Copies of this chain bind each other. A is one copy, B any other.
Amino acid sequence: MSSTFGTLLRITTFGESHGGGVGVVVDGCPPRLALDEAAVQAQLDRRRPGQSRIATPRDEPDRVEILSGLQDGLTLGTPIAMLVRNRDQRPGDYGTLRDVPRPSHADYTYERKYGIRATSGGGRASARETIGRVAAGAVAEQWLRAAFGTEIVAWVQSVADVEAGPVAADVVDRAAVDATIVRCPDTAAAARMIAAVDAARHDRDSVGGVVACVCRGVPAGLGEPVFAKLEALLAQAMLSLPAVKGFEIGSGFAGTRLRGSAHNDPFVARGDGALGTATNRSGGVQGGISNGEPVVFRVAFKPPATIAREQRTADFTGLEVELAAPGRHDPCVVPRAVPIVEAMAALVLADCALMQAARRRP
């Protein structure tokens, strides 16, 4: 188990889908930040199930309690522990899953790794684990905004084979993202995405998609070569999320098809004496360090593994069986993944910002 992430801003998450609750300890948050607790709750609300017809019908309020680290609304610089109680436990739902590992889920690998696993709800591999990340990310985000004016906005770029048109990374905001239940700011594409999710749910199946994210107002100089390059930490952060199979920054895989002369971002003068780049195929990062341009990346989410549709597979003993997973499932996780991606981005950026601050001459 490795449930701690970050160097100076360090989070530790805990909890599974059963048990007393899930949560996080945020260690290293700078002191004297006026923490907006409602904004933390708001990001959790964007993550919770039951928000719309395209998400799982589990309807959990996911109210966060802040246990420590605050006094009169200000952070003390001490660990901020946040707890969300589990409410809607239905261990009975998962009875048939004791014997049959769900294909492409974590049942089999947890059993091989630990010799034991939570027999209900996916345990630590449940999407519920991300609650602590979102709460922590909301704290990090507030600090980034106060310190640098940083804005982080993620959205759904594609669902199955429905791709959004170009999204204006320099201006897109959360209101535009949340305007559709699928969280795609291209409303025409959004309608087709929703139709794709509806169709999958009707077929008791699931669909995947791509979440894009932009971070504006990231100061130049963040990222710690060579192993904690900004893109390396973002990649780790994103691939640590359930169901993620890919990450690309800036031009990504498509950029490999260009020649250097077409790919390079020419420098241009900025008004403030700094340099900017005329294009941003670098995705805001050069040599592992932010260059002041927007940080732009994309994250690939596979279709959820747990589906109600029958699948031929083997049980733990190797016998071939037909499995139709009981329980309520998300046919598509990407709309709910939007605040999770934002949270992980905020945690990485804030940690890098603190590391860079340490380098300043006293």
Contacts and interface: CB of A to CB of B under 8 A. Distances in A.
Contact of A1 (B77, B300, B312): B77
The residue in A20, A237, A288, A314 that gathers the most chain B C-beta atoms within 10 A of its C-beta is: A288
A235 B300 CA distance: 13
B246 A248 contact: yes
B101 A267 contact: yes
Contact of A353 (B67, B227, B362): B362
Interface string A266-278: 1111100111010
A139 interface: no
Given A2-B228, A221-B113, A20 B289 contact: no
Contacts of A188: none
Contacts of A258: 160, 208, 302-303
B15 A27 contact: no
Interface string A287-326: 1111110000000111111110101111010111000000
Copies in the complex: 4
Contacts of A106: 225, 286-289
Interface in A311-362: 311-314, 316, 318-320, 353-362
A57 interface: no
B68 A311 contact: no
Nearest to A199: B259
A114 B359 contact: yes
A161 B23 CA distance: 46
Interface string A192-212: 000000001001011111100
A108 B267 CA distance: 9
Contact of A118 (B12, B71, B264, B281): B71
A355 B358 contact: yes
A32 interface: yes
Contact of A112 (B220, B256, B257): B220
Interface stretch (A3-11, A40-48, A169-177): A3-11
A123 B77 CA distance: 11
Contacts of A312: 266
A140 to B, nearest CB: 14
A319 to B, nearest CB: 8
The residue in A3, A248, A267, A356 that gathers the most chain B C-beta atoms within 10 A of its C-beta is: A267
Given A245-B248, A300-B248, A225 B269 contact: no
Contacts of A248: 245-248, 253, 300
27 contacts: A1-B29, A12-B25, A12-B27, A14-B67, A77-B116, A83-B83, A104-B265, A105-B286, A108-B291, A112-B220, A112-B274, A147-B361, A160-B257, A160-B259, A161-B257, A231-B244, A232-B236, A232-B237, A232-B239, A233-B236, A245-B256, A246-B253, A252-B300, A253-B253, A263-B305, A275-B318, A358-B358
Given A113-B289, A354-B358, 15 more contacts: A2-B228, A12-B25, A13-B79, A15-B67, A16-B68, A76-B116, A78-B123, A78-B225, A104-B286, A108-B291, A112-B292, A160-B257, A161-B257, A226-B240, A252-B300
